[in-house]
Amino acid sequence: MLLPLAAGAPADPGPSIATPLLWTVTIGAVVLLLLVDFLLTRRPHAVKMKEAVGWSVFYVALPLGFGAWLWQQYGASTGVDYLTGYLVEKSLSVDNLFVFMLLLTAFAVPEELRQRVLLYGIIGALVMRAVFIALGAAALSYFDAAFLVFGLILLLTGLKLLLDELKDEEKEIDVSQIRSVRLARRFMPVTEDYEGPRMTATLAGKRALTPFALVVVAVLGADLVFAVDSVPAVYGITEDPFLVFATNAFALLGLRALYFVLEGALGKLTHLGFGLSLILFFIGTKLVIHWGHLVWGDAFPLPEIGNVTSLLVILAILVVVTVTSLLANRRNGGQDDAEHDGGRHDGLDDEAVGAAERG
């Protein structure tokens, strides 16, 4: 029987496809894309649908093209790992969009400033996930039990999301209850009005925060909460830190444009919360099974779940919940749209409210 590794005895995490050059080029490309986004949002303006759709298409084509290159360079196994991880992260990033939507509404962010807030949120999410990816890689290298811990995190998160989705009461974000906002208010006063994208302004002769700074702080706090779930999820697909980083980066980069494309449609995905909970259950179970095989080897009764199977299962879940959501909305003929939007938001709003207020 194999025993879990003791502390200080690193496991072999398996080879990473990444060379120093590939890491440098990938990180450089991510930074360059963020700089382009920063320049685009330098002059505050309301985002038109044509602009949002154009950038959304670009940010879908780019990771798919990168996946095709990985497939051709490193083989089908690497290509499937990357595409599966990207699909998982893109699906979970919808939760980020709901949190962003709720926070932008709660703080009454002017339309022309929303894309700059989203950009700060994306940058914060990338930085926090990079830290968690590094910590996760170290944990998986030294402790087989890290797979069990990651699996349990996903199973508990999936259960919480499912229970929240089944609740009927509607919740809203109370800005005054967000921990990061309360902490910021303790150190500096806050102006009443927005001052464009400025973080600070002068109030009664003293330096003060603007509401724009507070919403950015709240978004970054929510980013931290979501990083705890998303990084273990993609480690359930691949143990290669480079692929984990690439899938997270590409899933997040397009969120600014995707927000404005889906802003009116997100509430129609009434069953998406159920789908995300099933995906988390599935990947969490996969991690626990993998841990069982590391500890007990072939004596463990359950078979390992391959990534081709994972890709097909995740695709099937997303297709089913999308179709059932559309059918539910069509069947109600629009007359219960508000009620069903509330049903969709009740579950994710609970999760989003918790994420925002814990931040």
Question: Consecutive sets of 10 residues in the chain, 359 residues long: mean pLDDT of each?
Answer: 36 69 95 90 81 90 95 94 92 78 85 89 90 89 88 90 73 69 82 86 84 88 81 89 94 86 69 86 92 87 87 90 83 52 42 52
| Residue 33 domain-assigned (yes or no) | no
Is residue 248 within 8 Å of 234, Cβ to Cβ?
yes
Distances (CA, A) of 116 to 1, 72, 214, 248, 343: 54, 36, 13, 20, 29
Q: Please tell me the distance from the alpha carbon of residue 354 to that of residue 152, in angstroms, as a whole number.
A: 19
| Residue 106 domain-assigned (yes or no) | yes
Q: Please tell me the distance from the alpha carbon of residue 103 to that of residue 33, in angstroms, as a whole number.
A: 25
pLDDT value for 341: 42
| Residue 27 domain-assigned (yes or no) | no
pLDDT value for 12: 41
Closest listed residue to residue 267, CA positions, set 163, 348, 193, 357: 348
| Residue 111 domain-assigned (yes or no) | yes
pLDDT value for 9: 36
pLDDT tens for each residue of 108-137:
889 889 889 989 989 998 999 999 999 988
pLDDT value for 35: 93
| Residue 60 domain-assigned (yes or no) | yes
Is residue 56 within 8 Å of 254, Cβ to Cβ?
yes
The burial class, CB within 10 Å (0-12 / 13-18 / 19+), for 218 is buried
DSSP assignment string, 220-258: HHHHHHHHHHHHHHHHTT---HHHHHHHHHHHHHTHHHH
| Residue 245 domain-assigned (yes or no) | yes
pLDDT value for 343: 41
pLDDT value for 264: 60
Angle at 233 between CA 230 and CA 237, to 5 degrees: 135
| Residue 186 domain-assigned (yes or no) | yes
pLDDT value for 103: 85
Task: Supply the pTM of this predicted model.
Answer: 0.79
Tokens of 310: 């994972």
Q: Residue 292 sits in which domain range?
A: 39-358
Q: How many domains does the chain have?
A: 1
pLDDT value for 286: 92
| Residue 99 domain-assigned (yes or no) | yes
Is residue 33 within 8 Å of 253, Cβ to Cβ?
yes
**Residues 6 or more apart in contact with residue 206 via CB below 8 angstroms:** 189
